[in-house]
Amino acid sequence: MVLKEGDKAKNFCLKGISPDGEEGTFCLKDFLNKGKFVILYFYPKDNTSGCTLEAKDFRDNMGKIKDKAFVIGVSPDSIKSHKNFMEKHKLNFYLLSDTEKEVMKGYGVYGEKKMYGKVRMGVKRSTFIISSEGKLLEPGSM
C-alpha cells in the first residue's frame, strides 16, 4: 500500500551518513517539529546513472531547499556504499541504509516492478514530502 496525501508518515530509525559525513542512527521523528519539511526519497542503488542524476539534482538545489527542508535519501545499499557515493559526488544531505527493506515496504516503495520486460522485486523510485507535523503533503506544496 502506497501512502498518500494526508496520511501520517511512518516513523523509522535507520543507520546512515549525515551531510557532514558522520555515521549514526537517524530517526524521522528527530527531523520533525523543527519548522521544516522533510523530503524523503527512496532510490534503488548508489552510483547508478539515474540515482546519481537524482542525487546531484538535490545537491545542486540544496541552496534553495536547506532553509525549508531536510533531504533524506534511502536505499538498500550499505553505509560503506553510501559513504563512497557521498564523497564521490559531494552530496550534502542525509543518506540512510535500509538493507532489510522494512522502511521501503512500510512506505509501499519496495515490490514487484517491470524493468527491461522482466518482472522482479526492487525499489520503486519515490519521493515523499512530509510536513513538520508528520503528515504527507502533495508534491509542490512546500
At 13-63, the pLDDT tens digits run: 999 999 999 999 999 999 998 889 999 999 999 999 999 999 999 999 999
Overall number of domains in the chain: 1
Is 8 part of a structural domain of the chain? no
Return phi, psi of residue 15, to 5°.
-75, 150
Is 38 part of a structural domain of the chain? yes
Report the alpha-carbon angle 72-77-78, nearest 5: 100
Mean pLDDT to the nearest integer, 81-92: 97
Is 5 part of a structural domain of the chain? no
Q: Could you tell me the residue range of the domain that residue 126 belongs to?
A: 18-131
CATH number at residue 31: 3.40.30.10
Is 66 part of a structural domain of the chain? yes
**2 close to 113: Cβ distance less than 8 angstroms:** no
Give the DSSP letter string of 37-54. Answer: EEEEEE-S-TTSHHHHHH
- The active-site residue, picked from 32, 38, 40, 51, is 51
Query: Global pTM?
Result: 0.92
Report the SS3 class of residue 66.
coil
Is 7 part of a structural domain of the chain? no
Is 140 part of a structural domain of the chain? no
Distance CA 111, CA 13 (A): 21
Distance CA 46, CA 82 (A): 7
Residue 46's pLDDT is: 97
Beta strands at 136-137 and 126-130: parallel, antiparallel or unpaired: antiparallel
51 in active site: yes
